[in-house]
Amino acid sequence: MKIAVLPGDGIGVEIVKQALRVLEVLRSDGLKLELEQAPLGGAAYDQYGAPYPEFTQKICRAADAVLLGAVGGPQYDTLDFQLRPERGLLGIRKDLGLFANLRPAVLFPELANASTLKPEVVAGLDIMIVRELTGDIYFGQPRGTRTNDQGVREAFNTMIYSEPEIRRIAHVGFGLAMKRGRKLCSVDKANVLECTGFWKEIVIDVAKEYPQVALSHMYVDNAAMQLVRNPKQFDVIVTGNLFGDILSDEASMLTGSIGMLASASLDANNKGLYEPAHGSAPDIAGKNLANPLATILSVAMMLRYTFNNEAAGSRIEAAVKKVLGAGCRTADIFEPGMQKLSCSEMGDAVVKAM
Task: Note if 189 is an active site residue.
Answer: yes
Only segment of 20-28, 169-177, 194-202, 273-281 that touches ligand NAD (CB under 6 A):
273-281
Q: Which is nearer to ligand NAD, 178 or 331 (CB)?
A: 331
Residue 221 a catalytic site member = yes
Residues 48, 344, 36, 61, CA torsion sign: negative
Is 7 near ligand NAD (CB under 6 A)?
Answer: no
**Smallest Cα–Cα separation from 4: which of 95, 134, 86?**
95
Beta bridge partners of 132: 100
Which residue in the list 189, 210, 235, 332 is annotated as catalytic? 189
C-beta of 59 vs 260, nearer to ligand NAD: 260
* Among 2, 17, 126, 138, the one annotated catalytic: 138
Q: Is 232 a catalytic residue?
A: no
Cα separation, 322 vs 326, in Å, equals: 6
Which of 87, 93, 278, 304 is the binder for ligand NAD (CB under 6 A)? 278
Sorted by sequence, the CB contacts under 8 Å of residue 208 that are 6+ apart come out as: none
Amino acid at 291: N
Q: Is 347 in the site for ligand NAD (CB under 6 A)?
A: no
Selected from 24, 36, 64, 86, the binder of ligand NAD by CB under 6 A is 86
Tell me how far, at minimum, the Cβ of 211 lies from ligand NAD, in Å.
Answer: 37
Please provide residue 51's backbone torsions phi and psi, each rounded to the nearest 5 degrees: -75, -20
Binding mask 229-268 for ligand NAD (x = CB under 6 A): -----------------------------xx---------
Q: Is 29 in the site for ligand NAD (CB under 6 A)?
A: no
Residues that bind ligand NAD (CB under 6 A): 11, 15, 70-73, 86, 89, 258-259, 275, 278-284, 290-291, 294, 332
